[in-house]
Amino acid sequence: MKQHRQRIIVHVDMDAFYASVEQLDNPEYRGRPVVVGADPEGGKGRGVVAAASYEARKYGIHSALPISTAYRRCPDAVFVRPHFRRYEELSKKVMNILGEFSPAVEQISIDEAFLDCTGTERLHGSGQTLAAGIERRIKEGTGLTASIGIASNKSVAKIASELGKPNGLTICPQGKEQEFLAGLPLKYLWGAGPKTREKLESLGFHTIGQVASAVQLQLVQPFGKYGIKLHELANGIDDRPVHTGARRKSISEEITFRQDVDEDGLIEQVLFEIADRLTRHMRQKWFAGRTVTLKIRLSGFETHTRSRSLPDHVNDLATVRSTAVQLYREFKRQGRRVRLIGIGVSNLRFHNASQPDLFQDEDHEASGRRSADRVLDMMKDRYGEKVTRGSFLPVTGTSTGSSANGFSRK
């Protein structure tokens, strides 16, 4: 029987990426707790933490934590607003560096990627030699550090990189996957989110090894077919390939109001502004999507999503805006105020001018709207973001809802 060659899968995860970039660009921040996110406003801010340096994590500060809580935990921290263009610039440099070590690179977020380095041993070595080369090139090319995990498959390699953070290397030897995973708590089981872990714990599972040792039927009954997948992952079985050129799956924008709001007109105006920024970003990235999702967070942090799939891939303001507004109007908030509103577009695909099917059979009105979008894009590219739609300009003596009530963008 022919033996399959054992794979060498590498997971590279940049350390506290956003916060580390801020410390890189601002030497006075180094060694200090840095929190990237919304303005804390002296503990009254309404947004959340986007990233925290390892110094800040010692105070219990982490991503998605309310910025007001972060401020209370460490008021002396450096609080900075995100600089996404800078993060994207360094992310591209990192991905280009990874391409020097393997032709098979799968970027799964702005700061992490998988590499399939099977067969590259003669060029780059294996294990520690390979990892040392990657770490050195990233440090030379960007000034940043990364944590690296190496294993025979993607899920174990990702878990390995988590165990070595920050700036570490963890290698799971070939054939030792079960032993490597057995004693780890469920939080490390890739593919098991908070609700899945909670359910597993209610069933008496507390380590990955306990899940691995279970009879599959014990997992199929509560989780269906996904229980089989959980069992495989717990046993270190993962045959998924590294997908070269994997693309982003979704894109979104959201706004947190400074004060919870109740006016439908204001909320719909803000949805207009969100849709405008989001669709412009989509066109800049050459994305079009089929599924529009409304995200709405009510007072008390109760969060809901509503989605609708469209017959075609789109990236024009009118379609995304009208779909989001319709979803909002259908949502029954029963008089409760709104804290956050957002729009996401998923089922993305790349498109360019050579793909006319995006706009085939459209009527003249739709064609005109899309032409207006493209003209405004060109004007903003030339004259900057001060160019805006007349709909967003305040009427004399009044102001738009968003500027009157205030909000912070994520």
Q: What is the mean pLDDT of residues 269-289?
A: 89
Q: Which of 112, 177, 254, 273 is catalytic?
A: 112
Q: What is the mean pLDDT of residues 185-214?
A: 94
Question: Taking the domains of the chain in order of start, what are their residue ranges?
Answer: 1-175, 178-243, 250-409
Is pLDDT at 404 greater than 60 in this prediction? Answer: no
Is pLDDT at 409 greater than 50 in this prediction? Answer: no
CB 345 within 8 A of CB 292: yes
CB 62 within 8 A of CB 49: yes
Q: What is the mean pLDDT of residues 106-114?
A: 91
Among 11, 191, 245, smallest CA distance to 113 is for: 11
Is pLDDT at 355 greater than 70 in this prediction? Answer: no
Confidence class for position 132, pLDDT limits 50, 70, 90? very high
Is pLDDT at 358 greater than 90 in this prediction? Answer: no
Q: What is the pLDDT of residue 250?
A: 86
Is pLDDT at 353 greater than 80 in this prediction? Answer: no
112: annotated active-site residue? yes
Q: What is the mean pLDDT of residues 63-75?
A: 94
Select from 1.10.150.20, 3.30.565.10, 3.40.50.720, 3.10.20.30 the CATH code of 178-243: 1.10.150.20
Select from 1.10.645.10, 1.10.1040.10, 1.10.10.60, 3.30.70.270 the CATH code of 1-175: 3.30.70.270
- Cα(157)–Cα(45) distance, rounded to whole angstroms? 38
Is pLDDT at 152 greater than 70 in this prediction? Answer: yes
Question: Considering the chain, what is the average pLDDT of its residues?
Answer: 86
Q: Which carries the bigger pLDDT value, residue 281 or residue 176?
A: 176
Q: What is the mean pLDDT of residues 16-39?
A: 97
CB 189 within 8 A of CB 233: yes
CB 118 within 8 A of CB 139: no
Q: What is the pLDDT of residue 370?
A: 55
Q: What topology does CATH give the domain 250-409?
A: Dna Ligase; domain 1 (3.30.1490)
